[in-house]
Amino acid sequence: MTGHRANTIGLLCGREYSFPPAFIERVHQLGSVHGINAAMVKFGGTKMDEAPRYRVIVDRISHEVEYYRGALKHAVLYGTYVINNPFWWTADDKYFNYSVMSKLGLAIPRTVLLPQKGYPKDVDITAESLHNLEYPIDWDGLLDYVGRPAILKPYSGGGWKHVYKVNDKKELLDA
């Protein structure tokens, strides 16, 4: 994965039809001499102890999708360059704080940042806005990674609101 990461520029975008293919083609043209390539970013459960697949990510959608912001901040922690700054919208969230504590060597339970359940009205929930999400997501694999039962908590917020103990994929998706 390290070799792949070192030479890949990822594009994270929403409902755009002309820019993404033109951007990827141009990166391939200019970067071929140096072994640099481009691809659409794919996120589908961001594991705290895994480095991202991209050396650089060009972000054009995280201002509308919280999950993407969390995954991008995690990528920054692992040395990925992210254009536009994912910290601009929210500088403090549970996942990033857990990631920092883990990097400092503190004992943190295995944690996965999941795609959000709902989206703002102006985000098209079809493949147009969310084509950067892996599908289908390996929900059972993510539950196995963190261990069962798993504790499901919101990305932001507090006061033990909307916290669930889940044992399987059905309970996870219901929550």
Domain ranges of the chain: 2-136
The tokens describing 39, both together, are: 């691809």
Give the confidence band of 111 by pLDDT, cuts at 50, 70, 90: very high
Tell me the pLDDT tens digit for each residue of 50-92: 999 999 999 999 888 889 999 999 999 999 999 988 887 766 6
pLDDT attached to residue 2: 41
- Total-model pTM: 0.70
Measured distance CA(94)–CA(41) in Å, rounded: 23
- Given the candidates 3.40.50.300, 3.40.640.10, 3.40.50.20, 2.40.30.10, the CATH classification of the domain at 2-136 is 3.40.50.20
Indicate whether 3 pLDDT > 60. Answer: no
Residue 86: is the preceding peptide bond cis (ω within 30°)?
Answer: no
